[in-house]
Amino acid sequence: MPPPVYADTEETRYGAFLDLRLMARFLAYARPHRRWVVLSLLLLPVGILAQLGQPLLIRSAIDRHLTTGQMAGFELPVALLGLLLAVQFAAGYLQSLVQTELGQRVVKDLRLALFSRLIHLDAAYFAANASGRLTNRLTSDTEAVSQMVNAGLIALTGDILLLGSIGASMIALSPHLSLVTLGAIPIIVLITWGITRSMRLLQRRSRLLLASMASHLTESIEGHQVVRLFHRQERNREEFDRLNQVYLASTLRSHTLEATQFSFVEATSTLTIAGLFWYGGTMAGGDEVTIGTLVAFIDYIRRLFFPIRDLSSKYTTMQAAMTALERIFALLDTRAAIVSPEAGNALPVVRPVRGAVRYAGVVFGYGQGLVLPRLDLEIAAGERVAVVGPTGAGKSSLIRLLNRTYDPERGEISIDGVPIKRMPLPELRRLVGVVPQETTLFAGTIAENITLNDPGVTRRAMEEAAARTGADRMIAAHPGGFDFRLTERGGNLSSGERQLLGFTRVLAFDPRILVMDEATSAVDAMTERHLQAALAVLLNGRTALIVAHRLSTVLIADRILVLSRGRIVESGDHRTLLAAGGLYARLHALQLERPPSPGQAPGENGTARDRTSRP
């Protein structure tokens, strides 16, 4: 059974050869490079005229010199033929260079536009779209557009002009012979059209499979640790091989049809030439058809059938480009759901920022039921609030709303009384610093990963932040210190070192409000001790909203909120919540793997309390 092909990524079922709406939008990207378009179009007639003149020179050389034996002046048509061949070569060479230049320049602009759109889209879009398929927009789709420019659109225009010019020249030479030649063209066009339609379906199938392989490859690379740890290498190889085999079969069928069409055109052209010899032989010796005219016609037939033979490949190129353009423009038309307010509606935060946070009637879900049915919460300026609860209680959703990673469906969140929806996004995200469970690092130096090349973060601020979190000692241990180059995702650092750099990064940006999402849960106890010291520095003087399961992190909070099914069911400090014997006490006991005995509040008169209840 073949693996699934994901239809959500692909093709509009185009019946038309060109979508004028898409082409009009594409030409807008080509407009800044119009001088290359003009130069390419100007070269077309030069190459066409050079081709049209060659059979006429051959006719003249045969009829005036070779058949009559008068060789005086024979050098002239030979020299002119050589000149036309040189002009054809030069025009074709320049045409290829210009079209490649044009295609690459347009694709460069498209890639930049796509990348700019992608990085401004919100989290919900990336959650709904696989990264491998998004990457295809910037790679295979833009390459398909480049192929349209290089070997499709302008080349097709040249082929149409060449066919028309050859047809007119043949009629001018001999209307009778033209009937023999041009009579075969409708048959060739009909057969080619039928083959091309079948090829289009196969090409579409191949592109779907290619997108699926890209997605599978991306997942295997990103999840390489899981693949190794669970011995999935052979299974993943088999799944990829199945996709690869189906892609191979689809591609081979497409190439078989292309070879059939190519061979059919070649055979038809040979039969046409044979018919031309027969018909021309019966007319040879007259005034209209001479040996030179017959040879010129054969040369014209060769030039006539060449673009017809390539029609299927050009058609496929155009269809692939139309599909790619629709996918490209669909992404470019996607608007981020979370944007800065319009200038007239924006409200700046009053300076100095105190950092008081308020959730008022906040309702939120991810499209499949509500995660937060209705939430009301106030956090005082400088207060440290920890949020605990079982998986799925809405803890991460609560903090994602604060910096507008997502927006609530109803209700309002405000900072110092200013609704965050009315704050410019750059200002809001400067106010709210986030330390995730796993810090994302990029290929580059440690300094670049701390400052993110933000001009607002100076070298001095970076070094001071590193000194305060204690990261400076770790950084100094690496060759080059701050200039030590990290591999992709910081693969040459330990998890604790990556997280310590994350703390340092947030401190260097100096936010007034700190959000932590299980920031110390992915490290060992010894590393956590170092991170706790950095965390104390990071929390100093800031409002903090902390999602945590580890008690060492919860105990530093001024207040602990217990969430269950999106509602705050308990609130208080560690001692009070333990004494209440509610959900927090049960979570506390489960974490210590020591369930309370009947009639005894968790943590009372036991070792667990002695180890954990001291703030």
Is 547's pLDDT higher than 50?
Answer: yes
Is 611's pLDDT higher than 50?
Answer: no
Q: Is residue 371 part of a domain?
A: yes
* Confidence (pLDDT) at 257: 80
Cβ contacts of residue 436 below 8 Å, gap of 6+? 502, 517, 518, 519
Q: How far apart are CA 506 and CA 509, in angstroms?
A: 5
Q: Is residue 131 part of a domain?
A: yes
Whole-prediction pTM: 0.73
Is 13's pLDDT higher than 70?
Answer: no
Helices 34-61 and 75-120, axial angle in degrees (round to 10): 160
> In this predicted model, which residue has the larger pLDDT, 304 or 284?
304
Task: Report DSSP state, residue 405.
Answer: S
State the chain's mean pLDDT as an integer.
Answer: 81
* Confidence (pLDDT) at 363: 94
Domain boundary (332, 347, 378) is at: 332
Same domain as 510, residue 361: yes
Same domain as 405, residue 297: no
Tell which residue, 282, 341, 269, 347, has the closest CA to residue 310.
269
Task: Report DSSP state, residue 562.
Answer: E
Q: Is residue 57 part of a domain?
A: yes
Cβ contacts of residue 122 below 8 Å, gap of 6+? 336, 337, 338, 405, 406
Q: Is residue 424 part of a domain?
A: yes
> Is 188:304 a contact under the CB 8 Å cutoff?
no
* Confidence (pLDDT) at 479: 93
Tens digits of residue pLDDT in 347-403: 877 788 899 999 999 999 987 788 999 999 999 999 999 999 888 888 888 989 998
Same domain as 323, residue 402: no
Same domain as 144, residue 45: yes
Domain of residue 90 covers 18-332
Same domain as 201, residue 148: yes
Q: Domain holding 383: CATH number? A: 3.40.50.300
Is 601's pLDDT higher than 50?
Answer: no
Q: Both tokens of residue 507? A: 């401190």
3 state DSSP class of 207 = helix
Mean pLDDT of 63-82: 85
Residue 493: alpha-carbon gap to chain centroid: 28
Q: How far apart are CA 17 and CA 20, in angstroms?
A: 9
Q: Both tokens of residue 304? A: 């006539």
Residue 94: alpha-carbon gap to chain centroid: 32
Mean pLDDT of 234-249: 87
Mean pLDDT of 31-58: 89
Q: Is residue 348 part of a domain?
A: no
* Confidence (pLDDT) at 232: 81
Q: Is residue 600 part of a domain?
A: no
Same domain as 86, residue 33: yes
Q: Is residue 595 part of a domain?
A: no
Confidence of residue 592 (pLDDT cuts 50, 70, 90): low
Q: How far apart are CA 429 and CA 466, in angstroms?
A: 21
Confidence of residue 312 (pLDDT cuts 50, 70, 90): low
Confidence of residue 225 (pLDDT cuts 50, 70, 90): confident
Q: How many domains, in total, are found in the chain?
A: 2
Is 198's pLDDT higher than 60?
Answer: yes
Task: Report DSSP state, residue 64.
Answer: I
* Confidence (pLDDT) at 418: 92
Q: Do strands 485-486 and 444-445 pair parallel, antiparallel, or not at all (unpaired)?
A: antiparallel
* Confidence (pLDDT) at 489: 80
Same domain as 269, residue 389: no
On the CB side of 205, how many CA atoms lie within 13 Å of its CA? 21
Same domain as 199, residue 304: yes
Is 326's pLDDT higher than 90?
Answer: no
E strand residue ranges, 487-589: 513-517, 543-547, 559-564, 567-572
Is 65's pLDDT higher than 70?
Answer: yes
Q: How far apart are CA 307 and CA 301, in angstroms?
A: 11
Same domain as 388, residue 316: no
* Confidence (pLDDT) at 420: 92
Q: Both tokens of residue 238? A: 């088999």
* Confidence (pLDDT) at 7: 38
Same domain as 49, residue 162: yes
Q: Domain holding 201: CATH number? A: 1.20.1560.10
Q: Is residue 227 part of a domain?
A: yes
> Is 603:613 a contact under the CB 8 Å cutoff?
yes
Q: How far apart are CA 55 and CA 53, in angstroms?
A: 6
Is 613's pLDDT higher than 90?
Answer: no
Same domain as 372, residue 299: no
> Is 553:591 a contact under the CB 8 Å cutoff?
no
Mean pLDDT of 337-345: 83
* Confidence (pLDDT) at 285: 52
Tens digits of residue pLDDT in 451-480: 998 888 899 999 988 988 888 888 999 999
Cβ contacts of residue 504 below 8 Å, gap of 6+? 450, 462, 465, 466, 469, 471, 534
Same domain as 399, residue 439: yes
* Confidence (pLDDT) at 149: 82
Tens digits of residue pLDDT in 164-196: 888 888 888 888 777 777 777 777 777 777 777
Is 290's pLDDT higher than 70?
Answer: yes
> In this predicted model, which residue has the larger pLDDT, 339 or 281?
339
Confidence of residue 596 (pLDDT cuts 50, 70, 90): very low
Confidence of residue 308 (pLDDT cuts 50, 70, 90): confident
